[in-house]
Amino acid sequence: MGNLQKTLFCTLFTVGLLTCTKLIILPQFPIPLSLKIFSLIFSLAAIVGFSRTTSTSTNLPPGPRPVPIFGNWLQVGNDLHHRLLAAMSETYGPVFLLKLGSKNLVVVSNPDLANQVLHTQGVEFGSRPRNVVFDIFTGNGQDMVFTVYGDHWRKMRRIMTLPFFTNKVVHQYSGMWEKEIELVVDDLRSNEVVREEGIVVRRRLQLMLYNIMYRMMFDAKFESESDPLFVEATMFNSERSRLAQSFDYNYGDFIPMLRPFLKGYLVKCRDLQSRRLAFFNNYYVQKRRKIMAENGEKHKMSCAMDHIIDAETKGEISSENVLYIVENINVAAIETTLWSMEWAIAELANHPAIQRNIRDEIAAVLGGETAVTESNLHRLPYLQATINETLRLHSPIPLLVPHMNLEQATLGGYTIPRESKVVVNAWWLSNNPAWWKRPEDFRPERFLEEEGGTEAAVAGGKVDFRFLPFGMGRRSCPGIILALPILGLVIARLVLSFEIRPPPGLAEVDVSEKGGQFSLHIAKHSALVFKPIKA
In this structure, what DSSP letter does residue 524 have?
A: S
The beta strand positions in 32-155, using DSSP E, are 95-100, 103-108
Look up residue 116 and give its DSSP letter: I
Q: Is residue 188 within 8 Å of 227, Cβ to Cβ?
A: no
Q: For residues 45 and 400, give the distance between their C-alpha atoms in angstroms, rounded to a whole number.
A: 32
Q: Are 98 and 125 in contact (CB under 8 A)?
A: no
Annotation-wise, does 20 bind a ligand? no
CA–CA dist 43, 505 (Å, integer):
60
Bridge pairing between strands 513-515 and 520-522: antiparallel
Give the C-alpha separation, 13 to 49, whole Å.
Answer: 13
Measured over the CA atoms of residue 430, residue 435, residue 439 and residue 442, the dihedral's sign is: negative
Distance, CA of 114 to CA of 217 (rounded, Å)? 33
Q: How many residues does the chain have?
A: 535
Answer yes or no: are the C-beta atoms of 378 and 446 closer than 8 Å: no
Residue 515 vs residues 87, 211, 241, 336, 521: alpha-carbon distances, Å = 16, 26, 12, 12, 6
Give the annotated binding-site residues for heme.
477
Binding-site positions read: 477
